[in-house]
Homo-oligomer: A and B are copies of this chain.
């Protein structure tokens, strides 16, 4: 991404649209705001966005239909749906149409930004074949390796899983419970102790480059600083 990250935002409620647009712009995103589905589809073609944020209920063309049409030719660009309904079926439908995430209204701007960043980072991991740079290290997630110069440190599966969660959003707070739920499926006492052990082991393996640190935020989670 040479310049700013481009967001295509489709939201028919003008005031809400503007609020979202401005908060994204304040985070250094470039945003194109569309008021209905047709306009969004047209804009999509010329604007070449990095990520789409689509309201589900819009005039002329709803978000799901729009997503389906886009997905025909573009299986990659992440999509976040904004939905007022909270019923499960809508969520299923959203994922079914190729979306990557959804957000129920009302939501906080923080939440949206977190998800946008998460999806973009995930995308990046995929585009680099799962290889992420961490300071002077290269972290090869599929091969479970940490490479520093000519040194190769093998990681175990769990180590690689934990590190991936931290590395795909560096310098950001990742919540303990998010990591635990994603990897262990449950956030309970024992899994928590287990994770502690892996944090220790990762710190040991990352010690070669002192500019990298796994910083604890008491009561919340960790940040990978690099």
Contact = CB atoms under 8 A, between A and B. Distances in A.
Interface of A: 19-20, 22-23, 25-28, 67-68, 71-72, 75, 92-93, 95-98, 108-110, 142-144, 156-157, 171, 213, 215-218, 223, 225
A63 to B, nearest CB: 13
B93 A19 contact: yes
Nearest to A98: B26
A19 B109 contact: no
B144 A97 contact: no
A72 B225 CA distance: 29
Contact of A96 (B19, B92, B95, B218): B19
A104 to B, nearest CB: 15
Given A92-B109, A95-B110, A96-B109, A143 B215 contact: yes
Contacts of A96: 19-20, 22-23, 26, 109
Given A95-B110, A143-B225, A217-B157, A71 B19 contact: no
A196 to B, nearest CB: 17
Nearest to A65: B26
Copies in the complex: 2
Contacts of A143: 213, 215, 225
Given A68-B26, A217-B157, A95 B75 contact: no
A76 to B, nearest CB: 12
Contacts of A97: 22-23, 26
A157 B218 contact: yes
A132 B27 CA distance: 29
A95 B108 contact: yes
A92 B108 CA distance: 7
A156 to B, nearest CB: 8
A23, A67, A75, A213, most chain B CB atoms within 10 A? A23
Contacts of A225: 142-143
B71 A27 contact: yes
A143 B72 CA distance: 39
B157 A72 contact: no
A7 B28 CA distance: 25
